Amino acid sequence: DTEVTQTPKHLVMGMTNKKSLKCEQHMGHRAMYWYKQKAKKPPELMFVYSYEKLSINESVPSRFSPECPNSSLLNLHLHALQPEDSALYLCASSQEGNRDRADGYTFGSGTRLTVV
Amino acid sequence: DQQVKQNSPSLSVQEGRISILNCDYTNSMFDYFLWYKKYPAEGPTFLISISSIKDKNEDGRFTVFLNKSAKHLSLHIVPSQPGDSAVYFCAFGNSGNTPLVFGKGTRLSVIA
């Protein structure tokens, strides 16, 4: 299994809703990432988990709350989002501590989030 | 501090011709270099990479060139095909396991 699976593919939520994005990989990767991508922009790093511990938080607002229940799963809990948070949310994974990073990250297909 | 510059937002190329995509970087700590391809509504897909000990890596129609002295990375696609039409991101990393840094992307259109 060489894929990163993200669910749901599309999500529309109101500003008072609570929802979660899910990401799963079974490649044995120990680093997992959340990225946010707006149209015509590069992926913007949000969070990095390394060995199931949060290692990087790129000053993301607290309305985004990541969780890593185990080495294969990564969640992003959403609460009280704003319309400007509408974007493509990408999950990625990579080998951790492996200096032969020839293949970089494996990305999921993303969740297209619309906040209304 | 913009570590990576991918200055061409778009590129149009005739089918069968060569496509050349470019990135410049400033951080001399980068030691591996990648290209990703992204179709609309999909996540980026790894395409090809090169480490700092090489100056060229070839995989089929795709060749990546690294000029360390000029801090310049390029991707050549030849012959270009309509299915190559996508957004291409360069990405840079280092052995310290810090997250990859992405360029802004170049939208390639291959015209039949």
Asked if residues B71 and B85 have their Cβ atoms less than 8 Å apart, the reply is no
Report CB contact under 8 Å: B44, A90.
Answer: yes
Q: Using 50, 70 and 90 to split pLDDT, how confident is the model at B93?
A: confident
Residues from chain A contacting residue B97 (CB–CB below 8 Å): 31, 50, 96-97
Query: SS3 of B26, please?
Result: coil
Residue B97 has pLDDT above 70, yes or no: no
Chain B, nearest residue to A102 by Cα: B49
Predicted confidence at residue B95, as pLDDT, reads 72
Give the pLDDT mean for A12-34: 94
Of B43, B46, B95, the CB nearest to A103: B46
Predicted confidence at residue A99, as pLDDT, reads 47
C-alpha span between B15 and B32 (Å, rounded): 30
C-alpha span between A62 and A59 (Å, rounded): 9
Predicted confidence at residue B41, as pLDDT, reads 77
Q: What is the pLDDT of residues B28-86, one digit of tens each?
A: 989 889 999 999 878 899 999 998 999 999 999 999 999 999 999 999 999 999 999 99
Chain B, nearest residue to A6 by Cα: B43
> A113 in contact with B at a CB cutoff of 8 Å?
no
Q: What is the pLDDT of residues A27-77, one digit of tens each?
A: 999 899 999 999 878 899 999 999 999 999 999 999 999 999 999 999 999
Q: What is the pLDDT of residues B21-30, one digit of tens each?
A: 999 999 998 9
